[in-house]
Amino acid sequence: MNRKYRKTLIAGNWKMNKTPSETKQFLMEFKGMMPKGRWCDIAFCVPAVCIPAAVRAMRETRVGIGAENCNANASGAYTGEIAANMLVDAGCKYVIVGHSERRAMGETDADVNAKVKAVLDADLVPIVCVGESLEQRELGITEEWIAMQIKSALNGVGENKIKKVVIAYEPIWAIGTGKTATPDQAEEVCCAIRAVIRKLYDAKIARAITILYGGSMNEKNAFELLAKLDIDGGLIGGASLDAEKFVKIIEAANQPTT
C-alpha cells in the first residue's frame, strides 16, 4: 500500500451466497465489530437481491455496497439483466466487472470493456478483474496476458474517467482454491499493471490508481500481501463471508506504511 498517493480498499465479493435476511443479520453483526481506523475504504459486493438490505444495514457508515455484475445497456429487452443506473438508484457505489467466474460463463473482453464504460457513465466505481490461468503462468505469459486484458477493458476510457477505476489482480488459480499468490508474485504483477496504466495514461494516473489483489486472501496472509507497495487492498471472496475474518483483513490494511 502507499496511502500517500492512493486509496486502500478492502472489498468483499459474496458471489452467490447469503439471502437478503442473512445479509441483514450479517451486516448488523459486522457493524458492531467494524474497526474504528479510517485508513481504508470498505465495500461488500453482494448478490443483486441483497443490495437493498445491504444498503439499509450500512447506511451512515463508511462501508460502500457494490454489485457483482451489470449489463452494459442502459435499458431495454434484456430479461433478467440489471443496468448500471438501476444499481445507482438502489444505493450502490461499486460494481465488479469481468470477474473470472463470469468470464468463464462467456463474458468476453469486449463485454468487459462495454460494462466498464457503462459503470463509469453511471458514476459508479468499476472493480475490473484481470488474471491469468495456471497454464498461462506456467507458459510465462502472465504479464502479456494481463496487459492485453487491461488495454481491452480500458479501451476508450478517458483520463477524466480512469481516476474512478479500481483494478483487481486475481490469478484464476488462486481464486477459491486456498492457493494464494506469494506476496512477491502478487506484487510483481500489480507493479506490472501499474506500468501498463503508466503507458496508457501517465505517471500521475498510474501512481494514483488503486490495484487490489484477490485470490484466497484471508486473515492469515493479508498483512504480508498488503505490506507490498503496489497492493492497495484486496478483493476477498470466501473470507468476506465471515465477519471476524473480514475484520482482521481490514485491520491488516490499517498497518503502518512508509
List the catalytic residue out of 101, 170, 187, 219: 170
Closest CA relative to residue 226, chosen from 175, 167, 183: 183
What single-letter DSSP state applies at residue 217?
-
Closer of 206 and 212 to ligand PEP (Cβ): 212
Closer of 170 and 230 to ligand PEP (Cβ): 170
Whether residue 99 lies in the annotated active site: yes
Phi-psi region of 140 (alpha: psi -120 to 50; beta: other; left: phi over 0): left
User: Which pairing describes strands 40-45 and 210-214: parallel, antiparallel, or unpaired?
Assistant: unpaired
Whether residue 170 lies in the annotated active site: yes
Residues 59, 74, 78, 176: which binds ligand PEP (CB under 6 A)? 176
* CA 65 to chain CA mean position, Å: 12
Which segment (115-123, 152-160, 169-177, 221-229) binds ligand PEP by CB under 6 A? Answer: 169-177
Which segment (31-39, 185-193, 209-217, 243-251) binds ligand PEP by CB under 6 A? Answer: 209-217
* Residue 136 interacts with ligand PEP (CB under 6 A): yes or no: no
Question: Exposed (0-12), middle (13-18) or buried (19+): which is 216, by Cβ within 10 Å?
Answer: buried
Tell me the per-residue interface mask from 210 to 239 with ligand PEP, x by CB under 6 A, - otherwise: ----xxxx-----------------xxxx-
Closer of 198 and 248 to ligand PEP (Cβ): 248
Helices (H), 91-217: 100-103, 109-121, 134-139, 142-153, 159-162, 183-200, 203-208
Closer of 47 and 214 to ligand PEP (Cβ): 214
b/e string for 186-203 if b means 16 or more Cβ within 10 A?
A: bbbbbebbbebbeebbee
Q: Which residues have a catalytic role annotated?
A: 99, 170
Residues interacting with ligand PEP, by CB under 6 A?
Answer: 13, 15, 170, 175-176, 214-217, 235-238
